[in-house]
Amino acid sequence: MTLIDKLGRSVSYLRLSVTDRCNLRCSYCVTKDFKYTPHPNILRYEEMLQLIDIAASLNVSKLRLTGGEPFVRLGFMDFVSSIVKSHEDMDLRITTNGTVLEQYVPELKRLGVSRLNISLDTLNKETFESITGCDYLEKVLSSISACLSAGIHIKINAVAMKGVNDHELGSFIEFAKENPVDFRFIEFMPMGQDTRWTDESFWGADEILEQSRQFATLTPIKRTAESRGPAQMFSIKGGKGKLGLISPVSSHFCATCNRLRITSDGNLRTCLFSDKSYRLREILRNPKLSDKHILQVLANATKDKPLGNNILQTRTGSEGVCGTQMSAIGG
């Protein structure tokens, strides 16, 4: 059985958030009075493994672990190890802020986790602190170096924000020239009730591309079946790395969306922009129900997977496209 929706999109990619806790407070992601999910409502690792087994039986072949910050959850590396042991063929990736990653690089390498996304919105110490609330830029840069030395492929994701990091464009491109990384800008999305998103802060992909051409000769890289992700990638003449643009706001990629999300409290979301969710935790914890019931929910929910762009268009002004903030969804 394969997960297919009414529009013919087949789902092969699961993003699983292991925690809504984070050691940073990125201004575009968390709000001041965000309330953490109480511990008993967070899925145990065994429950997450059960969900991964079910997803794998439905031909989900790519799994991304995210958060909050996944590496701050106790026992996370054991969880990664269990996934690798029971799902050798799963394309396993992790999204992290890179602040506590360095110590885990040798173990990740040993386990064969060869691709990580690291979020980094600035190369400036003060700006880093003002975005995240913490003085951890050096820790992230050390983690990136450790990954590159270990041969782990790195994608760096920077949320593009006018008035915050747009003046660093030349430095970002220089960084991508000097390092073998995919440096990708993600358009700032208006997520959550108290989003800080405004028209003025929005730095769209077209504008970034035009401005980038002042700093480098860029050539678009053709998308292949393997690289059918949301980023439009560019090679940089004379550079070791590549530049990428992810444009969920200005030019949606809903038509080819192949993903489902499960939050750390066990809610299945079929679209990043929709708050409609399906409660899996109650099924997992009900002794009278079994994997069969979860499978059914996954299949039925997938059928109704919406087109996020339609949801985005219904919002007005600077309001959030959905009520849930990103740290509770996982990006």
Q: Which residues bind ligand SAM (CB under 6 A)?
A: 22, 28-29, 66-69, 95-97, 119, 157, 159, 186, 188-189, 191, 326-327, 330-331
C-alpha–C-alpha distance, residues 109 and 11, integer Å: 28
Binders of ligand SF4 among residues 219 to 278 (CB under 6 A) are: none
Output the smallest distance, CB 95 to ligand SAM, in A: 4
Q: How far is the CB of 323 from ligand SAM (least distance, A)?
A: 13
Backbone angles phi, psi at 161, to 5 degrees: -135, 120
Contacts of 313 (CB under 8 A, 6+ apart): none
Residue 320 touches ligand SF4, criterion: CB under 6 A: no
69 binds ligand SF4 (CB under 6 A): yes
Residue type, 230: P
- Smallest gap, in angstroms, from Cβ of residue 192 to ligand SF4? 11
Residue (155 or 281) nearer to ligand SAM, CB? 155
In what side-by-side order are the strands of the sheet with 153-160? 218-220, 231-236, 242-246, 182-187, 153-160, 115-119, 91-96, 62-66, 13-17, 259-262, 267-269, 277-279
Element (H, E) at 39: none
Q: What is the spatial distance between Cα 56 and Cα 2, in angstroms, rounded to a whole number?
A: 10
Nearer to ligand SAM, 188 or 203 (CB): 188
Three-state secondary-structure class, residue 129: helix
**CB nearer ligand SF4, residue 72 or residue 301:** 72
- SS3 call for 25: coil
Interaction of residue 119 with ligand SF4, rule CB under 6 A: yes
Stretch that binds ligand SF4, among 64-72, 73-81, 236-244, 279-287 (CB under 6 A): 64-72
Length of the chain as a residue count = 331
Strand pairing class (277-279; 259-262): unpaired
- What residue is closest to ligand SAM based on CB? 331
Residue list 81-110, contact with ligand SF4 (CB under 6 A): 97
Minimum CB distance to ligand SF4 smaller for 11 or for 72: 72
Catalog residues that contact ligand SF4 under the rule CB under 6 A.
22, 24-26, 29-30, 67-69, 97, 119, 326-327
